[in-house]
Amino acid sequence: MNNQQDEDVWTNSQTSVNFYAMKKETLHAFTQISVVLTGFSNADLTGTGLIATYYETVLKELGAEETSSLLATFERIKISNPEQITAQEERQAQEMVSGPTFKTAISQVIQLWYTGQWNATDGSSYIISSHSYLEGLVWKAIAAHPMGGKQPGYGTWSYPPLTFSSNS
């Protein structure tokens, strides 16, 4: 993406967050770590319109110090393409994910992307917004639509469900 396309994506986002007030590098780093943690592409995550909203949620809930530390640690892995990581990059990312320093925070970020809600360490949780519920990655992962939203359309019950094959 060139700079104009980046600005168009940020301008056309469905969030009220002012992207220009945030550092593009920080949002980029948050997007890159999210790609690795969720297994979804940059386009998929950008398409939700929730990158800035989720970054703000993580920043608010974890605090600036832990969020910055998480992103800085991830950037030290130097993953060249988060959508196609090498075996060495995957090992380094796995060490970071399973290590005690960020294990809880990383789990919370993954759950945020998949469910659209923040799950605090004290057991409380809250849905970020109705939009975050509708855009939860879980729906794409299970090839379904969110209950009460994004209905597939009239007459779709007459078609057989999609099937997936595994080549493993």
Please give the Cα distance from 114 to 146 (Å, whole number): 12
0.75 exceeded by pTM: yes
Identify the pLDDT of residue 3. 46
70 and 102 in contact (C-beta within 8 Å)? yes
Q: What are phi and psi of 118, to 5 degrees?
A: -95, 130
Q: How far apart are CA 103 and CA 142, in angstroms?
A: 25
Q: Do the Cβ atoms of 105 and 62 come closer than 8 Å?
A: yes
Cα–Cα distance for residue pair 100/84, rounded to 1 Å: 26
pLDDT at 18: 53
**Contact status, residue 75 vs residue 29, Cβ threshold 8 Å:** yes
Q: Dmax over Cα atoms in the chain, in whole Å?
A: 53
CA–CA gap between residue 52 and residue 162 (Å, rounded) = 32
Q: What is the DSSP letter of 13?
A: -
What's the confidence (pLDDT) of residue 20? Answer: 53
Q: How many CA atoms lie within 13 A of 3 on its CB side?
A: 3
Give pLDDT tens digits along the chain (168 positions): 444 444 444 444 444 455 554 577 788 899 999 999 999 999 999 999 999 999 999 999 999 999 999 998 888 888 878 888 888 888 888 888 787 888 899 999 999 999 999 999 999 999 999 999 999 999 999 888 888 777 777 787 788 877 766 554
